[in-house]
Structure 1
Amino acid sequence: MAGHVLVGADGSESSLEAVSVAAREARERGLGLRIVHAFVWPHMRAAGLAAAAQALREQADTVVTTAVEHARAAEPDLADVEGEVVTGEALTVLTARSKEADLVVVGSRGLGAFTGLLIGSVAVYLAAHAECPVLVVRGRADADGLIAVAVDSSGDARAAVEAAFGEAERRGTGLLALHVWNTWSAEGPDHHGALSPLVSNISELRKQAGQTLTDALAPGLAAHPHISVERRLLEGRVRPVLIEASKEARMIVVGARGRGGFKGLIMGSVSQALLHHADCPVLVVRGGAEHHG
């Protein structure tokens, strides 16, 4: 079903927080909300276990009912709210359902269907495989501030910039555009894993970094000329710089993969570092996703 925000519920406090955020995102986008509890049913063919199976089913139904009530209490004006118990492993179910969603929202911790899965397992998997952007609720879920976006020249970063302008538009706030650069050459580590020589012309490298930021923002500025954009060229290591910047943002948007400032860094490094350590919610966007909110 198209035109909705998808959120997984497992009965934990973290997932209820994610449900609240998902309900708000659905209201702000004018979309419906779909709450899913995925559960792998144990084999209970032996005599006398029917009652136990029924109890598990009732527990799953309670998780969904509670989540739906929580969403309606959080956003009373959101009329289109549905909940469902789905047979299957949580990540598989959410990934499959993401094909019909505009946004997937997940919490930073969980119980039940997410038992044993750290934030890196749930969020990184979905960010790598979901067919729409993934919003991970962590840090200051109700944070104020600008929408921050990590910028480089990759396709995913361009999609992230587009999504960030959309988030700023919906919230009536400005945009904080971040491009991290350093004095290592753009080629990064060579095929033997050794670092490339230091770039001698620092002023030229800084100029190139500024042009990368300008080029990446141009389409968004053309489409949203009324949105105020603060640009920052930051020198240093990408991950700690972005994590520090998240302390003043209400949300940070990042592409699943990148190059330039992110060259060689895949989902398991920059994006996963933000998913573990950012001080605000993290929106991960893939360039190949059909929907960008």
Structure 2
Amino acid sequence: MAIVGKRGRNRFAGRLLGSSSAKLAAHAHCPTLVVPEKWESEFAEELLAPSQHLASGDEAADEPLSVLEQSVPQQDHRRTFANVAEELNFDSEIVVGVDVRAAATEVVHLAAEAAALTDRPLTLIAAETLNAHGWYPDAEHHRIEVSNIRRGYIDHMERLAGELGDKNPGMAVRWQFFNGSPAGVLAEASRTAALVAVGTRGHGGFAGLLLGSVSQAVLNRSACPVLVVPTSHQK
């Protein structure tokens, strides 16, 4: 594993993924852990989660996100944050973006290993923007297609969570399926999670997770460490 800091060399240092970090995460043959320059807040006792920032230095606008399905409620021992909705609070959890159109990939297994080693809960996240009516010829077709997509996500997440739970007895594993952009959901999760894990590329809801597109946005906006796992060689 390679570990690098996230710090640009311009006046937006710490908010823009540095060129060296970006190149390493994009081309490394091993997992790359990208750690923000200022990860731990100096004012953690205020229980305000850090904001996401764009490369311009401005705060990122809130994206429309909503939980459509989830396995079990979050752990009761979580801290609460005044500026984070409960369903978007991943306090101290390991969060991993899941490609629902592929078998369990290396990124999921590495995230599970990290959760087991650090004794933290593991949360699987999948996301799809389901409000794009223009992609369907009529409202009824849209309703049927969304129902099919939703069922496919739920079945995959339930199966994967079960497999991970069987392989890691005693580890808390849960999943959530969001209506929203994958980058938006994962970047939002980084405000409270201990770690966010993504693959360098994916399919379905995480299509385009290749540095320079969606994963680039996640890395630029992340407030916690991000584990980038190369997946292009996987079949």
Alpha carbons 1:243, 1:277 under 8 Å: kept: yes
Alpha carbons 2:128, 2:182 under 8 Å: kept: yes
Segments of 4+ moved more than 6 angstroms: none
Cα offsets for 1:90-140 (capped at 9, x unmatched) = xxxxxxxxxxxxx101011166xxx9xx62532332122212100000176
Q: Does 1:242 align with 2:189?
A: no
Alpha-carbon spacing, 1:184–1:160, altered in 2? closer, same or farther (3 Å): farther
Q: Which residue of 1 aligns with 2:94?
A: 147
Q: Which residue of 2 aligns with 1:253?
A: 197
Q: Which residue of 1 aligns with 2:26?
A: 128
**In 1, Cα distance between the equivalents of 2:232 and 2:93?**
26
Tell me, what secondary structure is at the counterpart of 2:147? helix
Q: Which residue of 1 aligns with 2:174?
A: 230
Tell me, what secondary structure is at the counterpart of 1:178? strand
Q: Does 1:161 align with 2:104?
A: no
Alpha-carbon spacing, 1:163–1:289, altered in 2? closer, same or farther (3 Å): farther
TM-score by length of 2: 0.64
Q: Which runs of 5+ in 1 are unaligned?
A: 1-102, 186-194
Alpha carbons 1:152, 1:260 under 8 Å: kept: yes
Match of 1:200 among 125, 129, 143: 143
Match of 2:7 among 97, 109, 112: 109
**In 1, Cα distance between the equivalents of 2:21 and 2:167?**
30
Alpha carbons 1:139, 1:281 under 8 Å: kept: no
Q: Sequence identity of aligned pairs in percent?
A: 34
Alpha carbons 1:156, 1:287 under 8 Å: kept: no
Alpha carbons 1:134, 1:283 under 8 Å: kept: yes
Tell me, what secondary structure is at the counterpart of 1:247? coil
| 1:1-293 to 2 correspondences below 5 Å | 103-109=1-7, 119=17, 121-138=19-36, 141-142=39-40, 145-153=92-100, 158-183=105-130, 196-197=135-136, 199-201=142-144, 202-287=146-231
The structure with higher relative contact order (CA 8 Å, sep 6+) is 2
User: What code does the residue aligned with 1:268 have?
Assistant: G
Alpha carbons 1:210, 1:233 under 8 Å: kept: yes
**In 1, Cα distance between the equivalents of 2:183 and 2:175?**
18
User: What code does the residue aligned with 1:137 have?
Assistant: V
Cα offsets for 1:266-290 (capped at 9, x unmatched) = 3222211111101111000113689
**In 1, Cα distance between the equivalents of 2:130 and 2:189?**
20
Instruction: Tell me how far 1:203 sits from its aligned partner.
Output: 2.5
Alpha carbons 1:105, 1:135 under 8 Å: kept: yes
Moved more, 146-155 or 235-244: 146-155
Instruction: Tell me how far 1:141 sits from its aligned partner.
Output: 3.1
Aligned residues: 174
Alpha carbons 2:161, 2:175 under 8 Å: kept: no
Q: Which has the larger radius of gyration?
A: 1
**In 1, Cα distance between the equivalents of 2:216 and 2:103?**
15
**In 2, Cα distance between the equivalents of 1:139 and 1:107?**
6
Cα offsets for 1:134-183 (capped at 9, x unmatched) = 00001763486111111113669721110110110111111111111222
Tell me, what secondary structure is at the counterpart of 1:200? helix
Cα offsets for 1:189-211 (capped at 9, x unmatched) = xxxxxx74373323222111112
Alpha carbons 1:178, 1:232 under 8 Å: kept: yes
TM-score by length of 1: 0.52
User: What code does the residue aligned with 1:146 have?
Assistant: E
Tell me, what secondary structure is at the counterpart of 1:234? strand
